[in-house]
Amino acid sequence: MKKIYLFIILIAVSSTIAFAQNKDTKKADDLYNRLAYTDAAVAYQKLLKKGKGNRYVYEQLANSYYFINDSKKAETFYKRVVKGKKVKPETIYSYAQALKANGKYVDYNTWMKKFAEMKPTDSRSVAFMKNPNYLPKYLENAKKFSLTNMKEINTEYSEFGGTVMDKYFYFSSARNTARKNYTWNEEPFLDIYVAEIIGGTVKNENLIAGDVNTKYHEGNLAITADGKKMYFDRNDYYKGKYKKSEEGINQINLYTAIKENGVWKDIQPVSFNNNENSFGQPALSPDGNTLYFVSDMPGGKGMSDIYKVAVNKDGSLGKPENLGDTINTEGKELFPFIDSNGTLYFSSDGHLGLGELDVFYAEVNGPGFTNVRNIGTDVNSTNDDFAFKYDPKTKEGYVSSNRKGGVGSDDIYAAKLIAPLCDYELNVQVVDAVTKKALPAARVDLYDGAENKLATKTADNNGFVNLVVECDKPNEVLGFLKGYESNSLTVNPNNQGPIDRILMLFPIEKIIKDNKVVLNPIMFDYDKQNIKSQAAFELDKLVAIMKKYPSMEIKVESHTDHNGTEAYNMALSNRRAASTMQYIISKGIDKTRLSSQGYGKTKPLVACGANCTDEQNEKNRRSEFIITKR
């Protein structure tokens, strides 16, 4: 996707390379300056064959391949450049990105650390150093979406976007071979298309009617809720005039169009367009009162930032406002989209990601956004993933990508949510409650609030397990290790991470007190005797003790509260005692070592009769485990 999305920040690219031109590299440099990276790479390769290669040529070649998304060749030539002295930090960063795209995660970590040493205050460095080994965790996490290539509309050329309005699907494509080729990637210039949605299938695509499309790029769009007004981006080409900046770059600008009788007309530039900067990739808030867009205008944080601007009642626009450091980095933030809940989705190569350009989302927080999260696999790949659109009501959307296995250079994929979108990391360390030493090989189970087991993991050599927990839901973490009493901790609803917790396990002997094995209360449902997961968790401690001491014999005693008749309570307590004993037998304990008896309400801990409080009733409802033989 670099071959398409970077056209919005051309001045940032071209301004970095002019200093080293000479007569040998002039032809290749001219192609590079014109953003004809495919042809520029060929020209620089010819210089190498003539023995005129040097660090400058290698870097130009690396950049050319990087911009046309050939990460393998980019890696090859960046590798030669970074061996030298006084290497630019951004070159190091690009090399690291290429390594990551090629699956070389260890090398990626090495060069990102070098980048962080060179620019320690850069937000990309800060984020990486906080979580330098994040990639394995990202790759391990469950996929949140299933993706399907929309082969019905994808071609050998670039297609991206996916705006649904009524029963129509708007997207961008370079399929129009009647256009001349764009020298960046040798594909035709982009146009905006519209297709019908019939029976859930997108078909019958055509160029949108009217004056929007020209012989130059028209790429991204946003349409108002009433379907009557479109914001779109285009090369700086208006009323037949093709304008350039002082550096000779034709920028991207924002325009509006009005729909009349099915035709888009009355093209107007937005008020803040200029010839020196790019403005593009429009998106609208759910109420239509705010326009979001991307720009490389002065005063931003990175190479391209996301901005917002008020849409006034008369259709005029206010003053652009940068979304700030929570969203924008020193890298590139692109392709904003706001869903009906106000959540912002965008693509970035500055936040920690899986590939070169990843999709992220951030929750609305007053006038801004917070909690930027990577949307994870399968939406994100090791390549460029962008132009994500999502409807939280249908839980469906679209994402564009140049990942392997596609039909063309960039393809549109239909996305369907299959797992909760919001989650966070929960890092649990299991330790000995007495010595506070880590307990490697402990088993850790994760349960939700309904006692459903969600995951089981084994602690590493330092006693740590990493869990992924759904946002805003309570969870229970249980720990087990031979020779120790199992224990649990409650994780309250949360939507931010990572969270670090310590789970302490006591040596199993701690639950032997006098002539009893003391467990936490065994909970039963009303009028039931079946063993629930909480009860099983406690009874497993007893099982562990009996396995450690094979001569130990236990009598299970069950007691009820004062509610109900004596006969009813006696029968219920006998059933519960027998059920408890059967569970212990099922775990491998010989039945000859066990006995059980129900006492109903004949032996209360608190003699309160018919006047017991809820707390007193709870104390009286209990199971006791008497050691009859050690």
pLDDT at 4: 46
Q: Taking the model in full, what pTM does it have?
A: 0.77
Separation of alpha carbons 465 and 480, rounded Å: 13
196 lies in the same domain as 335: yes
> Does residue 6 surpass a pLDDT of 50?
no
Strand partners for 192? 172
Range of the structural domain that residue 246 is part of? 145-417
37 lies in the same domain as 84: yes
What mean pLDDT do residues 337-343 have?
96
461 contact partners, CB below 8 Å, separation of at least 6: 438, 440
pLDDT at 521: 87
181 lies in the same domain as 270: yes
H and E: helices and strands count for the chain? 13, 37
> Does residue 5 surpass a pLDDT of 50?
no
410 lies in the same domain as 429: no
pLDDT at 9: 43
> Does residue 181 surpass a pLDDT of 80?
no
254 lies in the same domain as 212: yes
Q: What's the pLDDT band for 497 if we cut at 50, 70, 90?
A: confident
Contact 470, 492 (CB under 8 A): no
498 lies in the same domain as 400: no
pLDDT tens, position by position, 406-445 = 998 899 999 999 988 888 889 999 999 999 999 999 999 9
438 lies in the same domain as 528: no
Contact 468, 423 (CB under 8 A): yes
pLDDT at 21: 63
pLDDT tens, position by position, 40-98 = 999 999 999 999 999 999 999 999 999 888 999 999 999 999 998 889 999 999 999 99
Separation of alpha carbons 592 and 611, rounded Å: 40
Q: What angle do CA 595, 596, 598 make, to 5 degrees?
A: 160
pLDDT at 20: 56
At which of 397, 417, 437 does a domain end? 417
- The structural domain count of the chain equals 4
189 lies in the same domain as 115: no
412 lies in the same domain as 436: no
Rg (CA), the chain: 32
615 contact partners, CB below 8 Å, separation of at least 6: none
C-alpha distances out from residue 565 to 523, 526, 560, 593, Å: 21, 15, 11, 32
Q: What's the pLDDT band for 15 if we cut at 50, 70, 90?
A: very low
Q: What's the pLDDT band for 182 if we cut at 50, 70, 90?
A: low
**Residue pointed to by tokens 């402990």:** 442
Query: In this prediction, what percent of the chain has a pLDDT beyond 70?
Result: 96
pLDDT at 408: 87
H or E element, residue 39? helix 37-49
What mean pLDDT do residues 395-415 have?
94
> Does residue 491 surpass a pLDDT of 50?
yes
479 lies in the same domain as 403: no
324 lies in the same domain as 301: yes
At which of 455, 479, 509 does a domain end? 509
Calculate the average pLDDT of the chain.
91
pLDDT at 23: 83
At which of 417, 446, 462 does a domain end? 417
